[in-house]
Structure 1
Amino acid sequence: MNLRFVEAFYWVASLKSVTRAADKLFLTQSAMSSRIAALEEELGVLLLDRREKQFRLTIAGARFFTYAQRLLELQREAKAEMGSGATQAVSLRIGAIESVLHSWLIPWIEQLRKEHPSLALELTVETTPILVEQVQRGTQDIVFAALPAAADGVRSLALPPMEMVFIGHEKLHRKRRYSLSEFGALELLTFQRGSHPHVALLDLFRSEGLEPARVHTISSISAMVQLVQGGFGVATLPRYAVQRMQNYPFLRALNCDSKLQPLPIHASYRTDPATHAVETVVKSALLFVDARKGTRSGASRAPDTRSVPRSRASKKSMS
């Protein structure tokens, strides 16, 4: 039995789409259909119900899905046990929100590439709703977003949340501490409408019986930082993301009597019975973020931090 055909069927069944499975395996749709047809001929049964436009497995297809998963797992175990130890090239599609991109994604990828030079990455930066949908549909292998994804074959892991702070211009915002009502009278900048930081900011004001004068929603951290640098308002941003932006010398974290909610971060990923590559990469991200959090625990408590040298997360093995 050709395991490439088994793998093709596994992903068609997992993603409930020949088209998405073809994209996952970097095949044409016709090539994917040919592999499924060849597998059906060998097994002597129909695995996919082609009578309707809606995707559906046959009874035989549903039964064979379990065998397909086991066969791919056995293939992986056999390669690990009997293989020569040669490193195989793996391509992974990774998506992340802007807060992750500007905080730890790039230094983590730099470390990941050193440890796994054969790993090819396809990187996408999007909002949480889009990333969640993409990993659910199978167009992303791993996403780092503010919400976990839920779907068959998708697992989610909570990473350490990001500390959120009010950021202002040091020459315009000189007070040692502000009240929430004082911030409410200013131009406030936060992430796009409906995002976790946007909702959390509004909830904070409402919990204290206040209503901010104006809240501007912006999807780009760079745009928010440039606006604050130009003297337009106060932004709510991840502290570490701002600390990495050393080209903007006038940014300042502003103390407030009311604390912003941390930004939750979740790694959602699709399991692959043929390889541990996805789990290895997720584990690497968790270790990297944990190490960075430990090295920066003192900085996260600093009252007014501007340009702080980039952290050097300790390198850890992922074998």
Structure 2
Amino acid sequence: MNLRFVEAFHWAASLKSITRAAEKLHITQSAMSNRIASLEEELGVVLLDRREKQFRLTVAGQRFQLHAQRLLELQRQVKQELGSGSGGPMALRIGAIESVVHSWLPGWLQEMRQQHPDFELELTVETSPVLVDQIRRGAQDLVFTSIAGSDSEVHTRLMPAMEMVFVGHKALHAQARYALADLAQHDLITFQRGSQPHQSLLQRFQEAGLPAPRIHAISSISAMVQLVEGGFGIATLPRAATRHLSSRLLLRILRSDVTLAPLPIHASYRADPGSGVAESVLESAQAYVGRTKPVRRSRSSP
């Protein structure tokens, strides 16, 4: 039995789409259909119900999917035990939000490259909803987002949350300490509308009984930094993402009486036979973040 045909059927069944499975395996849709048809001919059963436009497995297809998962898992174990999987490059598709990209991701990838010289990366930087949809559809192997994956086929682990701080212009925002009323005198910049940082900022003003100032919703940290440098306003950003930026740009982390809710970080990967690589890579990321996470300074520190 050709395991490439088994893999094709498995991904079509898991993703509930011939098109998505073809994208996952980087083959054409016709090639994907031919592999499944060849598998059906070899088994002597129909695996896909092609009478309707909606994707549906036959009873035989549902039963064979269980066997396909076992076969692919056994293939992975054999390669791992005999070392046959170590000859080629370690390729992984990773998706991450900008907060991760601007903080610990570069350092961790450097460590990954030292540990795995043949490591090949395909990195996508997007918003959390887009990345969660991509991991659900099988378009990514591992994603780091601010919201958890909501699919039964997706495993999610909680990473250390990121402390959020107010960031201003060194020359324009030189006040020693900022109360909420002081911040309300400025235009505020935060992540996209409806995101956790956006909701957290609005909540602080609601709790204090103060009218919310003008709040600009921006999906890009790079754009937020440019706006702060241009004197447009004060931004809410992860401390880890601005630490290295403030040393070379006109940025300043503002001391404030206001505590913003930390930004949660979730790591998600698909629960598939081939997920062992993604899971081990995630463990590497967790270990790196655990070693390098800075100790949070007390509010009274200078």
Change in CA separation of 1:86 and 1:122 when aligned onto 2, cut-off 3 Å: closer
Alpha-carbon offset, residue 84 of structure 1? 5.4
Residue in 1 that maps onto 2:112: 112
- What residue number does 2:237 align with? 237
CA contact (8 A) 2:154 2:269 kept: yes
Q: How do 1:1-319 residues align onto structure 2 when only pairs under 5 Å count?
A: 1-83=1-83, 86-246=86-246, 248-274=248-274, 276-293=276-293, 296-297=294-295, 300-301=297-298
Partner Cα separation in structure 1 for residue 26 and residue 90 of structure 2: 12
Secondary structure (helix, strand or coil) at the match of 1:256 reads coil
| Whole-angstrom distance in 2 between the partners of 1:96 and 1:289 | 15
Contact 1:229 1:248 in 2 (8 A): no
Give identity over the alignment, percent: 58
Per mean C-alpha deviation after superposition, the further-off stretch among 259-268 and 272-281 is 272-281
Offset, 1:142? 1.1
Moved more, 102-111 or 266-275: 266-275
Residues 41-61 of structure 1: CA distance to partner in whole angstroms, max 9, x if unpaired?
A: 111111111111110010110
Instruction: Give the 3 Å change call, closer, same or farther, for CA 120–303 of structure 1 in structure 2.
Output: farther
Q: Is the 8 A contact 1:14 1:152 kept in 2?
A: no
Mean Cα deviation higher: 203-212 or 4-13: 203-212
TM-score by length of 1: 0.89
Q: Quote the offset at 1:207 in angstroms.
A: 1.4
> What are the superposed Cα offsets for residues 258-282 of structure 1, whole Å, 9 maximum, x if unpaired?
2001000001111331462111111
What is the rounded CA distance, in whole Å, between the counterparts of 1:104 and 1:42 in structure 2? 49
- Partner Cα distance (2:93, 2:86) in 1: 22
For residues 26 and 219 of structure 1, the distance between their equivalents in structure 2, rounded to whole angstroms, comes to 30
Distance 1:247 1:81 in 2: 47
Kindly provide the amino acid, as one letter, of the partner of residue 49 in structure 2. D
Larger deviation: 158-167 or 148-157? 148-157
Match of 1:227, as an amino acid? L
Distance 1:275 1:217, change over 3 A: closer
Per-residue CA deviation, residues 115-165 of structure 1 (Å, 9 max, x unaligned), is 122222111111111111111111111111100112132111100000000
Cα distance in 2 for partners of 1:95, 1:83 equals 28
> Structure 1's 152 and 35: CA in aligned 2 closer, same or farther, altered over 3 A?
farther
Q: Which runs of 5+ in 1 are unaligned?
A: 306-319
User: Are the aligned partners of 1:170 and 1:252 in contact in 2 as well (CA < 8 Å)?
Assistant: yes
Contact 2:245 2:251 in 1 (8 A): no
How has the CA–CA distance of structure 1 residues 242 and 280 changed in structure 2, closer, same or farther, with 3 Å as cutoff? same
1:103 partner SS: coil
Q: Distance in 1 between matches of 2:40 and 2:63?
A: 13
* CA positional deviation for 1:91: 2.3
> What CA deviation, in whole Å up to 9, does each residue of 1:29-79 have, x standing for no partner?
111111111111111111111111110010110111111101111111222
**Aligned mates of 2:61, 2:73 — CA distance in 1:** 18
Aligned-pair CA distance for 1:301: 4.2
Deviation string 1:71-126 (CA, Å, 9 cap, x unpaired) is 11111122222345743323221111111111111221121122122222111111
1:161 aligns to what SS in structure 2?
strand
Alignment partner of 2:174: what SS? coil
SS in structure 2 of the partner of residue 297 of structure 1: coil
Counterpart of 1:138 in structure 2: which amino acid? G
Flag as ranges the 4+ runs of structure 1 deviating above 6 A.
302-305
| In structure 1, distance between residues paired with 2:226 and 2:284 | 32
- Give 1:176 deviation, angstroms: 2.2
1:228-285 superposed Cα distances (whole Å, 9 cap, x missing partner): 2222211100111111215644311112212001000001111331462111111111
Give the gaps of 5 or more residues in structure 2.
Answer: none
Question: Aligned residues, how many?
Answer: 302
Contact between 1:253 and 1:303, CA under 8 Å: does it hold in 2?
no
After TM superposition, give the deviation of residue 213 of structure 1 in Å. 2.0
